[in-house]
């Protein structure tokens, strides 16, 4: 597929430690088997969907279909950018950015996962800072939201470390229909500007803006 027709394949968010790139088919095949239960320290899924519990190859096929569906349904009214996290050129996880009616609301939501062997190196913070740079500096968002189950201490620590403020709690269901409290976080454009880094680069974003209804 020519990038002329799907400019997101040229988009890169680059930091000194990693890159974020939209998931094409080659990256999808590499990433699909990497999301396993061991991405969580105790093996308990911290997702609301039971996707990790599917047997192989159904789990991997489901991942591919999910990424394809998000790509196919992308529009100014609703979009989810699934971004591969690349460390030294190797796929390490996924960082996504989503929004509804973004041209009007200027509000985004982030979510992510990182393969076990890449954890414990500060990459969770780095990838979150990278995607927030895309949202606020690149897309001119006004706010960003994130959420995690109260037992997901690592995700909560990342949100607090990069400058989110807690924005409420509610009871929800984790994978397997187990009730647990979710902690919600919010960051404003003003909050981002106070901690904005000057060593994160955006490459080939301009052609993507019209597809998102921003030009």
Query: What digits encode the pLDDT tens for the residues 103-162?
Result: 999 999 999 999 999 999 999 999 999 999 999 999 999 999 999 999 889 999 999 999
- Domain ranges in the chain are 7-209
Q: Residue 107 corresponds to which tokens in the numbers above?
A: 């509000």
What average pLDDT score do residues 62-67 get? 95
- pLDDT at residue 36, as a whole number: 81
Q: What is the pLDDT of residue 187?
A: 98
**Quick one: DSSP state of residue 133?**
I
pLDDT of residue 203: 97
Q: Which CATH number fits domain 7-209: 3.90.420.10, 3.40.50.1950, 1.10.10.10, 3.40.630.30?
A: 3.40.630.30
Confidence of residue 4 (pLDDT cuts 50, 70, 90): confident
Rounded to 5 degrees, what angle do the CA atoms 113, 187, 139 make? 80
The rounded distance, in Å, linking the Cα atoms of 57 and 46 is 21
Average pLDDT score over residue span 35-49: 72
User: Which comes out higher in pLDDT, residue 137 or 36?
Assistant: 137
Rounded Cα distance, 35 and 60, in Å: 9
What are 149's two structure tokens? 């189950």
Q: Where does the pLDDT of residue 2 fall: very low under 50, low under 70, confident under 90, or very high at 90 and above?
A: low
Asked if residue 99 lies in contact with residue 77, where contact means CB atoms within 8 angstroms, the answer is: no
For residue 214, the Cα-to-chain-centroid distance in whole angstroms is 20
Q: Tens digits of per-residue pLDDT, 84-93?
A: 999 999 999 9
Q: DSSP secondary-structure letter at 199?
A: S
Terminal Cα distance for the chain, rounded: 23
200: left (phi over 0), alpha (psi -120 to 50) or beta: beta
pLDDT score, position 48: 62
Residue 50 has pLDDT above 70, yes or no: no
Six token digits for residue 147? 């959420």
> What pLDDT sits at residue 12?
97
Write the burial class of residue 122 (CB in 10 Å: 0-12 exposed, 13-18 middle, 19+ buried). exposed
């Amino acid at each position: 597929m020519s990038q002329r027709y799907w400019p997101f394949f040229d988009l890169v968010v680059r930091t000194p430690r990693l890159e974020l790139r939209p998931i094409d088919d080659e990256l999808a095949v590499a990433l699909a088997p990497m999301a396993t239960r061991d991405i969580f320290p105790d093996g308990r899924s911290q997702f609301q969907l039971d996707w990790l519990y599917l047997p192989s190859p159904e789990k991997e096929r489901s991942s591919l279909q999910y990424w394809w569906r998000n790509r196919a349904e992308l529009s100014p009214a609703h979009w989810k950018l699934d971004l591969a996290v690349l460390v030294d050129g190797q796929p390490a996880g996924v960082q996504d950015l989503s929004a509804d009616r973004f041209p009007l609301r200027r509000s985004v939501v982030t979510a992510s996962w990182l393969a076990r062997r890449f954890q414990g190196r500060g990459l969770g913070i780095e990838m979150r800072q990278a995607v927030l740079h895309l949202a606020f500096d690149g897309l001119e968002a006004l706010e960003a939201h994130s959420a995690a189950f109260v037992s997901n201490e690592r995700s909560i620590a990342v949100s607090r470390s990069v400058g989110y403020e807690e924005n409420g709690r509610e009871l929800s269901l984790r994978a397997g229909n187990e009730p647990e409290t979710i902690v919600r976080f919010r960051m404003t454009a003003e909050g981002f500007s106070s901690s904005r880094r000057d060593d994160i680069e955006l490459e080939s974003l301009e052609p993507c803006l019209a597809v998102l209804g921003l030009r």
